Structure 1
Amino acid sequence: MPQVWSSPVRFVECDQQGVVFNAHYLTWADEASNHWWASHGLPWDVVAARVNPVVKASTLEWTSSARWGDTVTVDAETEKVGRTSLTVRFTILVDDQLCCVVRNTYVATDGGRATPWPDDIRALLTAD
């Protein structure tokens, strides 16, 4: 089930034409990720204290632009859970219009090195 986060587009997030600057889509995905983790019963501070997840890779694919005055909605869904990594898809919409899809791959780390997800965290990440 997708976890949803939304926010009005702020003036500071836009260029002079009122179009959202591309880096803010990553910020919105990051905001939504906190809700995504919590929706799995994994508040960020609890996860980070046990296994430090870091973003290994991000991809962004734009379809249309969000603009000043819009409200963006971000649907966050688990796409894949691996042994040491997981990918979350963030679908960013204005109303029903797709703006951007962000995919973040998180890697569990310990001491700066990839480590397997603990069994209890993996169980929560893969539960339907």
Structure 2
Amino acid sequence: MSVTWSSAVRYSECDDQRVVFNAHYLVWADEASNAWWPSVGLRWDPDGVCGVQPLVKASNLEWSSSAVWGDTVDVVCDLAELGRTSLTLVFEVRVGDRLCCTVRSTYVATRDGVPVPWPDEVRAAVS
């Protein structure tokens, strides 16, 4: 199941050429991930999800074009892979039909900072 998070590109997110600074794509992916959890029926709170804290293990960004000041970005988030202790979400950052960036982030389920298997409730919700 995919979810879309949208935002106007703010002036503070841009460099001197009014092009979005690269780190903001990760912020937008994080915002979209916060919308994805409830879209699959899981409650996200300060303690995590179902008793585990998902932590980012790795992120990869691949740019196709630039978002600029004045654009509205739509960030489509979907599950790419579910492992024993990790899951990977893919985020497509778009302006209209134009793909700007694809972000792949892998999250590891942790408890007290130690990787643990995803709880059955999470597996059932995302499968």
Kindly provide the CA deviation profile for residues 75-119 of structure 1, in whole angstroms up to 9, marking residues without a partner as x: 000000000000000000001000000011000001111100111
Structure 1 distance, partners of 2:54, 2:104, is 15
**CA offset at residue 47 of structure 1?**
6.6
Matched with 1:2 is: 2
- The answer to whether the 8 A contact 1:34-1:43 is kept is no
Matched with 1:125 is: 126
Structure 2 distance, partners of 1:28, 1:99, is 12
In the TM superposition, 1:9-28 aligns within 5 A as: 9-28=9-28
**CA offset at residue 46 of structure 1?**
7.5
Matched with 2:85 is: 84
TM-score norm. by structure 2 comes to 0.96
SS in 2 for 1:45: coil
List structure 1 runs of 4+ shifted beyond 3 angstroms.
Answer: none
What root-mean-square deviation, in Å, do the aligned CA atoms of Structure 1 and Structure 2 show?
Answer: 1.2
Q: Which amino acid aligns with 2:53?
A: N
Matched with 2:65 is: 64
Structure 1 gap segments, 5+ residues each: none
The answer to whether residue 31 in structure 2 is matched with residue 36 in structure 1 is no
- The answer to whether the 8 A contact 1:56-1:106 is kept is yes
Of Structure 1 and Structure 2, the greater helix share is in: 1
Percentage of identical aligned residues: 60
SS in 2 for 1:99: strand
SS in 1 for 2:7: strand
